[in-house]
Amino acid sequence: MRVLVVIAAVIVLGVGATAYALRTPEEIPVAIEPGPVELSTGRLLFVDDASGKVASVPLSSPDGPRRVSSLSCKRFFTAAKQGLCLADRGGPFPGSVAIFVDQSLTETHRIDVAGVPNRVKLSPDGRMASWTTFVTGDSYAQTGAFSTRTGIYDRETLLYQSNLENLRVPGMKRAEDRNYWGVTFTEDDHTYYATLSTGGKTHLIKADTTDNFAKPLRENAECPSLSPDGKRVAFKKRVPGDGARPWRQHVLDLSTMVETPLAETRGIDDQVVWLDNDTIAYGLPGEGIWAVQANGEGAPRQLVPRASSPSLVTG
């Protein structure tokens, strides 16, 4: 009798869980146009929410029909008509793969990376590639034991640094709890900005791949993104608040070190991109891709619904 009750419970719970898992969320249809996705000037590239694949629209009509490719990515970035896709590797344990693609999104090279995809960026001329993944270590021990892995790959010398960890930061103690994320390269292809977290605080650092020295510029700044003219850095700054995404996007003038909060008040958890020297674009989970002025004025406007990880083909 008792055994029958347990068997009945197994069946009921099993059916219930299966029904829950198979329940499909309502899809909001978006218009799709046929045609290849190519890295041609003026196209805004992004990851399509519904398919998880790289898609594009012309920046002149971003809410119009989109072209969808067959390349699956969590994050995608394009510069100098080359693309870098950070995708899930597949398999029962988390892992990523960085896929380099040419103008027609054909794969040219790939690198396996540990952890879950988070950020990806190319230098303006496409030579330096960098990415960040999240690694959950000891699943059995403490909750929240989390670290970031940030890799840098030089496509000219083929030098690959799988994790930034040996950076020397004068004036800062060498501690084991250092984490780096969100690299953004300057035009010289060796100077870059990134986030360094240690002792519960985040720092904006300026570092160099040639000597592995880094200099902290200011506290409380994450996911920097350098403007096309190289004079300003957009970053997210932690603000007080209960809940996920307690950030406000700011722009820092590197010559005066004056920061300006942007008009977007929703928390942005993204490494934003610059569409030009006056506009940044970013993804908001479930709300698509938005743009806002970089000088703190104006109001945010939606560019592409049902999409994330924007980047613009220029030049």
Partner 1 sequence: MYIATARQAPAAGGTGRIAGNVFALGAVSLLTDVSSEMVTAILPLYLVLGLGFSPLQFGVLDGIYTGVTALVRIVGGHAADRWQRRKLVAGLGYGISAVGKLGLLAAGTSATAMGLVLAGDRTGKGLRTAPRDALITLSSEPSALGRAFGVHRAMDTVGAFLGPLVAFCLLWTLPARYDVVFVVSFCFAALGVLVLVLFVRDHRDVLPRVAVSLKSAFGLLRSRPFRRVCLVTCGLGFLTLGDGFIYLLLQKKLEVDVAYIALLPLGTAGVYLLAAVPMGALADRVGRWRMFLVGHLALLGAYLLFAGTSGIPLLVGVLALHGLFYACTDGVLMAVAGPMIPDELRTSGLALLQTGQVLARASSSVLFGALWTWFAW
| Region of residue 278 (phi > 0: left; psi between -120 and 50: alpha; otherwise: beta) | alpha
Backbone angles phi, psi at 177, to 5 degrees: -95, 20
Binding part of the chain for partner 1, among 83-91, 204-212, 248-256, 258-266 by CB under 8 A, reads 83-91
DSSP-derived 3-state class of residue 140 = coil
Sequence-separated (6 or more) residues with CB below 8 Å from residue 56: 37, 38, 43, 44, 45, 46, 66, 67, 69
Binder of partner 1 out of 32, 97, 111, 114 (CB under 8 A): 114
Binding of partner 1 by 215 (CB under 8 A): no
Looking at beta carbons only, is 29 or 286 nearer to partner 1?
Answer: 286
Binding of partner 1 by 173 (CB under 8 A): yes
Provide the H-helix boundaries in 44-141: none
Binding of partner 1 by 5 (CB under 8 A): yes
Looking at beta carbons only, is 63 or 88 nearer to partner 1?
Answer: 88
170 CB-contact burial (10 Å; exposed 0-12 / middle 13-18 / buried 19+): exposed
Measured between its terminal Cα atoms, the distance across the chain in Å is: 75
User: What's the CA gap between 18 and 20, in Å, rounded?
Assistant: 5
Q: How many positions of this chain bind partner 1 (CB under 8 A)? A: 57
Binder of partner 1 out of 11, 145, 239, 258 (CB under 8 A): 145
Q: How far is the CB of 56 from partner 1 (least distance, A)?
A: 23
Binding of partner 1 by 308 (CB under 8 A): no
Binding of partner 1 by 242 (CB under 8 A): yes
- Nearest CA to 150 out of 98, 189, 202 is that of 98
Looking at beta carbons only, is 19 or 31 nearer to partner 1?
Answer: 19
Binding part of the chain for partner 1, among 26-34, 150-158, 173-181, 251-259 by CB under 8 A, reads 173-181
Binder of partner 1 out of 80, 269, 305, 314 (CB under 8 A): 269
Looking at beta carbons only, is 123 or 148 nearer to partner 1?
Answer: 148
Binding of partner 1 by 11 (CB under 8 A): no
Report yes or no: 31 and 65 within 8 Å, Cβ to Cβ.
yes
DSSP-derived 3-state class of residue 5 = helix
Binding site for partner 1 (CB under 8 A): 2, 5-6, 9-10, 13-14, 16-17, 20-21, 88, 90-95, 114-116, 118, 134-149, 173-177, 179, 197, 199-200, 222, 238, 242-246, 267, 269, 285
